[in-house]
Amino acid sequence: MKATDVRAMTPDQIDDEVLKLKKEQFNLRFQRATGQLENTARVRAVRRDIARLKTIAAEKRTSASAKA
């Protein structure tokens, strides 16, 4: 997921996407623990996507509060 895509989202959409990625992260951790994980790079990608979403959400909140 690219930052430009995230910036086009509304805050509610960002929260939904974070929730979806958190569930995927849990499933990936579970697969790794049971030895069923095939794409180990996906763990890192999901973690970074969550961080990217949270960072941009925080930026949007601060800019919205600064305008008010």
Q: Where are the domains of the chain?
A: 3-66
pTM given for the model: 0.90
3-state SS class at 1: coil
The CATH code of the domain at 3-66 is: 1.10.287.310
pLDDT at 68 over 80: no
Q: Which residues does 55 contact at the CB level (< 8 Å), separation at least 6? A: none
1-49 tens-digit pLDDT: 899 999 999 999 999 999 999 999 999 999 999 999 999 999 999 999 9
pLDDT tier at 67, thresholds 50, 70, 90:
confident
Residue appearing with tokens 């959400």: 57
Residues 6+ apart with CB under 8 A from 31: 37
Q: How far is CA 50 from CA 5, 17, 22, 68, in A?
A: 13, 8, 8, 27
